Each structure stands twice: as structure tokens, then as C-alpha cells.
């Protein structure tokens, strides 16, 4: 029974992971993360938060899910503003595991965290590949999901 459950979870994960990318490419995610990180590094986290909602910048209208974190708290989000002020140290994805350790590990490696969440548009279960990087080492992470 346990083996069947594990096999089903792995199969569902792999099937979902194959669909990651509905919102943009890996390169687009990296480019927009670097752009946001640059704003934060040069002008501070508040400037990054403001840029998220500046219609002259690509963040507000991006189909990618762009998230800003300060010490594990989501402080900027272009697609799910209802998550603002949520602690990702406590928020679990659909696997039942907290998302923050995967986000930090991805930022440390400048790679993707795989997060199981709801599709931004259809609300069905979806596997997001979320490129993550430190904008401020040890404090602020930019995560861009596709």
C-alpha cells in the first residue's frame, strides 16, 4: 500500500513537473529575477516592492509568478497578493512540506525550487519550477515561477 502511494505521488509529480513552464521559459524567469535583484541591490527592498507595481516595468504584467521575500515573509507578489505577509517558513505546498527550505536551497544554488501549488489561472494542481536567487544575501530572495 505504501509503495503504491509513493509511486502515485512520484508519477503525479513527474507529470506535473513536465507542465511547468506555462508562464514563461527558464531564461525569462532568470532574466526577470536578475532585473528585480538588480533593483533591490541598487535601491533597496522597498524599491523592489514598488517596482513590482510600476506599470513601466515588466513585473506587473508578467505571466511569470514573481515573488519577493524578506526573511521568509512574502513582501511582493505580482499574481497572488493574498499571500502578502505570509511566512513561507510555515506555508506548505500541496506535498505538505514547507516551501521555504526548497526556496532557500534554490537561491543558494541559483536554480529552481519545484513547488506544488495551484495554477494561477485554472486553479488546478500544478508543479512550478521557481528560479530563486538572493537579492540580499541571507535576507531577501527573488523567486520567479513558471
Beta bridge partners of 7: none
- Cell numbers representing residue 96 in the block: 505538505
- Cell numbers representing residue 68 in the block: 519577493
Please report, rounded to a whole number, the percentage of residues in the chain having pLDDT higher than 70: 86
Where in the sequence is the domain holding 130, given as residue range(s)? 2-145
pLDDT tens for residues 55-66?
999 999 999 999
pLDDT tens for residues 103-127?
999 999 999 999 999 998 899 999 9
Short-list 130, 134, 97, 98, CA closest to 114: 130
CATH number at residue 53: 3.30.450
Short-list 117, 81, 111, CA closest to 99: 117
Structural domains of the chain, count: 1
Amino acid at each position: 500500500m505504501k509503495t503504491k502511494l509513493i509511486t502515485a505521488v512520484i508519477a503525479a509529480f513527474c507529470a506535473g513537473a513536465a507542465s511547468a513552464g506555462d508562464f514563461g521559459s527558464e531564461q525569462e524567469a532568470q532574466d526577470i529575477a536578475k532585473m528585480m535583484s538588480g533593483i533591490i541591490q541598487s535601491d533597496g527592498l522597498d524599491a523592489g516592492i514598488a517596482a513590482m507595481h510600476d506599470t513601466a516595468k515588466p513585473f506587473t504584467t508578467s505571466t511569470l509568478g514573481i515573488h519577493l521575500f524578506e526573511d521568509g515573509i512574502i513582501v511582493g507578489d505580482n499574481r497572488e497578493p493574498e499571500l502578502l505577509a505570509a511566512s513561507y517558513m510555515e506555508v506548505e505546498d500541496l506535498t505538505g512540506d514547507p516551501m521555504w527550505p526548497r526556496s532557500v536551497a534554490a537561491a543558494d544554488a541559483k536554480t529552481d525550487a519545484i513547488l506544488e501549488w495551484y495554477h494561477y489561472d485554472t486553479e488546478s494542481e500544478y508543479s512550478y519550477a521557481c528560479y530563486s536567487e538572493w537579492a540580499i544575501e541571507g535576507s531577501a530572495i527573488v523567486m520567479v515561477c513558471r
